[in-house]
Amino acid sequence: MMKNNLNNLVNLQTNKLGNLGVKSIFLSALAIGFISCSNDDLEAPLLEDSSNLLSTNASANVIPLNESDFYTPPTTFAVTKNLVKDYGADKIFNTDDSQKLQTAIDDVSGKGGGKLIIPKGNYTVSDIKMKSNVHLIVNSGTVIRPSTRANNKNYAMFTFGKESATVKNVSVESANGQKFTVDLTKAKNTNVAVFNLNNVDNFLLTDFKVKDALTKFSAVTMGITEHNGKYIRPRNGVVKNANIINADYGYGLVQIQAAKNILFKNIKGTGGVTLRLETGWSFMNDLQIGGVHDMYGENISCTNGNAAVMVSPHAMHNGKVYVNGITANNCGFGVRIEAGFVSKKYSTPGLTNGTFSKVTINNVKATYGNKDAQLKPKHYKFMPCNLRSLIDDNPIVAGGDSYWGPSISAVLNTPNYNVILDESTVTGNGFKNGYVIQTEEDAISDADCN
């Protein structure tokens, strides 16, 4: 865990809590408490903020982020195994390698943990259950595809602690720091995530690129899971040096529904949202268990998508978020900071508009593009009137509700919670004057444009 205090941030401009002042913020009297005190559980009631973690570099308004505060790598390995030599994988797409890979992971974990080398080749896998103390070392020339499915149910290629005991001390990385490839373009069932993390503690995901095809989940997803009557979330990890290509508007590289103390570093997305801190899962909102706490990002970028970073609490009451270094080229936004709301999908009475205890954003650079951003009609009101004719009439996906169009702003800032935005570090290249940072007060209806 980080050792200092984020509350010392200075010389920043704090947005008043009144952008959506008609909505009052209070905690639901019906919120469900926690029943556990073990290390595998959520450590404290999530409606309390527990993340007084970091100090600032006051001269630059930037927090120094150290990977060692999020993930502790192994110092020794009991065994080193090779997926091809030791377990007979044949390195061609036509063979489903799931069982051989699962056997190898189980074996390495059972022997005390170690490295599992995946040599250069083509592999097809799904529903792989990662085990404690296993470190996958993937050759950067390797391509991995999801296995063919007999149905259209949701699935993941790799799961970490889904409805199981804690998976501890795990990693997936390349052998040389260069990215290996996950290819989703041939998936017949597009309801697929690459990495789904749940009850996992101390993890590293790095050195991968995802070739997407507008599939129906973000590549990396994190959320709560149930084990022995307790709800548990991912904690203590790093996701870095990764990118996705051709993601859908509603997804992207990473979506976090529930997690604690995670660092995202040097991640990129073409399409969708690169880092999506959106806690909208109906099951979780109805329980009021989960949410994100102590999220840290550095060097997050978007190209031809919706946004590099999105913060949207729905009806969850979350902790702190800090992101420094955001780049957007031809995206709808560099950053989307959305207000909480209670969706009609939620069934628990008494839910209130969700919040974050604090969101801190530094150093945003967005470049306008006139046709390659992914947009939804709900955001057209923040666009200059003379640009709205540039929006494509045809949805990106047939029957869908997102469209190609011009960039809207560097920052959309419409929260009902505390946001610290250093406006002096926000740059919008090519945007019309007044449209670099947009708030709810800046909205213009179509009727007002006529």
pLDDT tens for 298-321 read 999 999 999 999 999 999 999 999
At residue 227, the pLDDT reads 96
- Residue from 366, 449, 346, 447 nearest 412 by CA: 366
Question: What is the SS3 assignment for 69?
Answer: helix
Question: What is the SS3 assignment for 424?
Answer: helix
Q: Quick one: pLDDT band at residue 265, thresholds 50, 70, 90? A: very high
At residue 299, the pLDDT reads 98
For 385: left if phi > 0, alpha if psi spans -120 to 50, otherwise beta; the answer is alpha
- Residue 59 makes CB contacts below 8 A (sequence gap 6+) with none
Distances (CA, A) of 446 to 11, 17, 57, 437: 38, 27, 44, 20
Contact indicator for 153, 174 with CB cutoff of 8 Å: no
Q: Which helix (H) or strand (E) holds 362?
A: strand 355-367
Contact indicator for 403, 378 with CB cutoff of 8 Å: no
Average pLDDT, the chain: 88
At residue 391, the pLDDT reads 97
Q: What is the mean pLDDT of residues 218-243?
A: 97
At residue 31, the pLDDT reads 31
pTM of the model: 0.88
At residue 10, the pLDDT reads 31
Percent of the chain past pLDDT 90, that is, above it, reads: 83
Dist. CA 150–CA 145, nearest whole Å = 16
At residue 407, the pLDDT reads 98
At residue 7, the pLDDT reads 36
What is the C-alpha end-to-end distance of the chain, expressed in Å? 54
- Residue 216 makes CB contacts below 8 A (sequence gap 6+) with 154, 190, 191, 192, 248, 251
Contact indicator for 294, 262 with CB cutoff of 8 Å: yes
Q: Which two tokens stand for residue 306?
A: 């919706």
Dist. CA 211–CA 309, nearest whole Å = 20
Dist. CA 219–CA 327, nearest whole Å = 20
Q: Which two tokens stand for residue 180?
A: 């290996």
At residue 60, the pLDDT reads 52
Q: What is the mean pLDDT of residues 330-351?
A: 98
* More confident: 267 or 3: 267
* More confident: 405 or 58: 405
Least reliable range by pLDDT among 10-14, 114-118, 399-403, 432-436: 10-14
Q: What is the mean pLDDT of residues 91-114?
A: 97
Cα 68 to chain centroid, rounded: 20
Least reliable range by pLDDT among 24-28, 270-274, 345-349: 24-28
Q: Is the pLDDT of residue 13 over 50?
A: no
According to DSSP, residue 14 is labeled B
- Kind of pairing between the strands at 291-303 and 258-278: parallel
